[in-house]
Amino acid sequence: MSAVVSRADLLALRERWRADGLKVVFTNGCFDLLHPGHIRLLESARSLGDRLVVAINSDASVRGLKGPTRPILPEQERAAVLTALEAVDAVTVFDEETPCPLLEKLLPDVLVKGSDWSHWIAGREIVEEAGGQVLPIPVEPGYSTTDVVRNILETHAAAAR
C-alpha cells in the first residue's frame, strides 16, 4: 500500500529510489471520482517503470480548473483512494496551477498524461531536458469525471419525474 506524502518526503523517496536504480513514473491530475478510465491509465503508467508517483491537484486548484462545484471529493479523500491502488507507490498534493515546480525537483524518469492532454503536457520541457521521457497514454473512451457527474444528475432528474 502506498502513502500520501509531503513534497519533502516525496523528494527523499525519489533520492532513495534513484540510489536503488529504480525508474520513477509521474502523473498528475484532479482524480475526482475515480473511474475505470483512471484505473487503466494508472496501471498503464505503472507498467512503464518501477515506481508510480501521482500528484493530485489541491481542492483550491481543482476549483480554479473545473469551477465552483468541484471537487466532488476533498483532496484528503481523493488521495486516500489513490493510495489504496496497487499501481500507485506515492501520492502527493500540489496547490500550484501546474505540477512544474514539483517536477523541477522530482525529475521523474517518465512523465505520463492521458492522450487527451497530449497537445500540452505541463512539465514536458523539464523532464525532457533532464533526460526523461514524456508519454501520452491512450484514454479509455467514454470515461470522464464530467460525464460521470452528468450521468448521475440526469439519472436523478429522470427518477424525480
In eight-state DSSP terms, residue 146 is H
Domain ranges of the chain: 3-160
pLDDT number for residue 143: 72
Reading the chain (161 residues) residue by residue, the pLDDT tens digits are: 578 999 999 999 999 999 999 999 999 999 988 989 899 999 999 999 999 999 999 999 999 988 998 899 999 999 999 999 999 999 999 999 899 999 999 999 999 998 876 678 999 999 999 999 999 998 877 777 777 777 787 887 777 77
* Coil vs helix vs strand at 121: coil
pTM of the model: 0.91
pLDDT in tens, 26-61: 999 999 889 898 999 999 999 999 999 999 999 999
Q: From 148, 151, 153, 120, select the one nearest 136 (Cα to Cα).
A: 120
The CATH number of the domain covering residues in 3-160: 3.40.50.620
pLDDT number for residue 136: 93
pLDDT number for residue 147: 77
Contact 31, 78 (CB under 8 A): yes
Residues 6+ away with beta carbon under 8 Å from 158: none
pLDDT number for residue 118: 66
* Coil vs helix vs strand at 87: coil
pLDDT number for residue 51: 98
